[in-house]
Amino acid sequence: MKMSFLIYSYFPYGGQQRDFLRIVEECLSRGHDIDVYTLAWQGEVPAKLNVIIVPVKAHRRIKLYQRFTEWVEKALSRQLPQKVIGFNKMPLLDIYFAADPCFAEKAETQRAAYYKYTPRYRHFKHYEEAVFDGNGKTEVLILSPQQRKAFSKYYPKCSSRLHEVPPGISPDRRVTDRDEVMGRDFRAEFKIDDEQILLLQIGSGFRVKGVDRSLRAIAALPDEMRNRCHFMLVGQDKPGRFSKMARQLGIDDRFSIFQGRDDIPRFLAGADLLLHPAYVESAGYVLLEATIAGLPVLTTASCGYSFHIEAAGSGEVCSEPFDQLELNRRLITMIERLDTASWSASGLEYGKKDELYSLPKVAADMIEQFASKTDRG
């Protein structure tokens, strides 16, 4: 089949981008002819994949996305009909992979009342409605029950078009035991001794991932406990705001920031606890990657994959609505119980489930199924 995939930006370290690439590669392996339309591509391009950098520019992101959509629509109109699969919400899509949370819910629960009168709100609401509104025909691949609940609430007529897919953890992350040798080598490299507690947070987009919440929780630890902790943050974003915040909280001497890395398993093996108190997260693959590596997790219920932490018994989940004091208390409790709790063993056991690694195949099956039903339009 001829398919066009749309994504605003590809870089190697985002969860959305990793899902996109794995699904594209699975479709390529099945012999499909694939074009990718994007504004920017970082990293290697898979063989036989035709990446088209859309040549539009704008000072404002909203206008940039509008010009992207218009340019792609014209390009597609000059070709034979084909299926269009998007990884961002926009018009044109036959199939949407829901890497992002429900915008309508986010606008109502996390923004001030005036936000609904802004151009930004009107743009993103319009683009979301193009996918989910009652008269739409776009089939949607969702990542969690949390997404189904949110999209069904704000777009009740879309429920029959929501199709849940399993996680897409890379099979090479699957282990049977914690790699103690890798962990010791990692800690030795970064001069983290056995008495120190290494707290880890991984994820691009530091604000949405709740790095401010993590810093406040660490600063609130009892003196003796805080002095034993070191906090490593790994992800692709501008770190200035959070470095400044760490200085203001008096913990900058125990805080390290690393831009996107290719050796995440080493961090998971060397750390004692994963912190991920995100404001909102459609999935949160790092929660599962930590779990199956035997690393205890402390996260928030706003993360789509937080239900896996509860199902696995691999850590603790802060309730909604979020309360910073609850996060602070849970962090203290988890640090106190690191040597006695069963979080690590439970996570390793949960990692034996084959379905945790099956997203690319299942998503490609669904894309083929939807594509074979009718011609586009």
Which sequence spans correspond to the domains of the chain? 2-166+358-373, 171-353
Q: Give the C-alpha separation, 88 to 104, whole Å.
A: 15
Express each pLDDT in 198-248 by its tens digit. 999 999 899 999 999 999 999 999 999 999 999 999 998 999 999 999 999
Express each pLDDT in 147-166 by its tens digit. 999 999 999 999 999 999 99
Express each pLDDT in 87-109 by its tens digit. 999 999 999 999 999 999 999 98
Please name the residue that has the structure tokens 């400044």.
244
Q: Give the C-alpha separation, 166 to 352, whole Å.
A: 14
Topology, domain 2-166+358-373: Rossmann fold (3.40.50)
pLDDT at position 377: 44
pTM score, two decimals?
A: 0.88
Q: Is 54 left (phi over 0), alpha (psi -120 to 50) or beta?
A: beta
Q: What's the mean per-residue pLDDT of the chain?
A: 95
Q: Which two tokens stand for residue 246?
A: 């760490």
Alpha helices per DSSP H over the chain:
15-29, 61-77, 103-110, 119-132, 145-154, 180-189, 211-219, 223-228, 240-249, 264-270, 285-292, 306-312, 324-336, 343-350, 359-373
Task: Indicate the pLDDT class of residue 136, thresholds 50, 70 and 90.
Answer: confident
Q: What percent of the chain stands above pLDDT 70? A: 99
More confident residue, 275 or 376: 275
198 forms beta bridges with 230
Q: How many helices (H) and strands (E) does the chain have?
A: 15, 15
pLDDT at position 374: 56
Task: Indicate the pLDDT class of residue 376, thresholds 50, 70 and 90.
Answer: very low
Topology, domain 171-353: Rossmann fold (3.40.50)
Do the beta carbons of residue 276 and residue 206 sit within 8 Å? no
pLDDT at position 289: 96
Per CATH, 2-166+358-373 and 171-353 having the same topology is answered yes
User: Is residue 120's pLDDT more than 70?
Assistant: yes
Please name the residue that has the structure tokens 């190697």.
12
Do the beta carbons of residue 164 and residue 143 sit within 8 Å? yes
Express each pLDDT in 11-50 by its tens digit. 987 789 999 999 999 999 999 999 999 999 999 999 999 9
Q: Which two tokens stand for residue 108?
A: 């109502």
Q: What percent of the chain stands above pLDDT 90? A: 91
Question: What are the C-alpha distances in Å from 77 to residues 49, 152, 244?
Answer: 20, 32, 49
